[in-house]
Amino acid sequence: MKLLFLLVFLITQNYLFPQNQTLDGFLGIKWGVNSSEVIKQMKKKEVKIILKNDTLITMMGGSFAGRKVFNWQFLFFQHRFYAAAVLLEVSTPIYLDEIFTNIRKDISNKYGQPSLYDSANHSHPNVYWKFNKDKNQKDDCFIYLTMKSYSSFPFFSVLVAYQNNFIFNKKINYEKIKKRKSLNEL
């Protein structure tokens, strides 16, 4: 009986306090895979590739969390997947807050409460979920959620982004070294 109680307690603690979770990828696509693997996984979502190069794949169509997607972007460094962004289409601004709130609840139900809620700009709040390091990731990951409105045309969206900072930081360091070398050559 004590063992059962201890087991229930440990499971409940992990469920109630999920900030110790790790984020090993996006929609079943593991961090660090190549673009072919991303495309293979995304074909299940009925998307259309509109741009593909060594650092970026952009797709249109499909759905995310039961909502229509305007576009998907997958970022790569040295052919390794490190970030994904989903731009959810919102037909009118009336639904923007509702969709944002529902997505925030969906992510919170899966991963726990956000690590940071920045509401300084009330019309476009930013919400972050940060995930701890683990032996495979070597660095933290995060999910970012915000609302966007574009003044150039009547389009409103909710942006959800996932990122692995280990690969992202390698990219940043590589770019700094490359920039330093080019400045030294002047």
Across 8-28, average pLDDT: 57
- Beta pairing partners, 142: 130, 163
**pTM for the structure as a whole:** 0.80
Backbone dihedral region of 28: left (phi > 0), alpha (psi from -120 to 50 degrees) or beta? Answer: left
Instruction: Quickly list DSSP for 129-147.
Output: EEE---TTTSS-EEEEEEE
pLDDT higher for 52 or 8? 52
pLDDT higher for 132 or 99? 99
Distance CA 15, CA 90 (A): 32
Across 53-73, average pLDDT: 94
Q: Above 80 in pLDDT, residue 9? A: no
pLDDT band at 8 (very low <50, low <70, confident <90, very high): very low
pLDDT per position as a tens digit, 101-154: 999 999 999 989 888 877 666 566 889 999 876 555 556 888 999 987 765 555
Instruction: Quickly list DSSP for the chain.
Output: -HHHHHHHHHHHHHHH-GGG----EETTEETT--HHHHHHHHGGGT-EEEEE-SSEEEEE--EETTEEEEEEEEEEETTEEEEEEEEEEESSGGGHHHHHHHHHHHHHHHH-S-SEEE-SSTTS-EEEEEE---TTTSS-EEEEEEEEEETTTTEEEEEEEEEEHHHHHHHHHHHHHHHHHHHHT-
The per-residue pLDDT for 24 is: 87
pLDDT per position as a tens digit, 31-62: 999 999 999 999 998 899 999 999 999 999 99
56 close to 74: Cβ distance less than 8 angstroms? yes
The per-residue pLDDT for 150 is: 64
The per-residue pLDDT for 95 is: 83
Distance CA 103, CA 85 (A): 14
From residue 119, give the alpha-carbon distance in Å to each of 13, 128, 146: 29, 11, 10
pLDDT band at 11 (very low <50, low <70, confident <90, very high): very low
The per-residue pLDDT for 180 is: 86
Q: How many whole angstroms from its chain centre is CA 173?
A: 21
* Maximum mean pLDDT: which of 72-76, 151-155, 162-166: 72-76
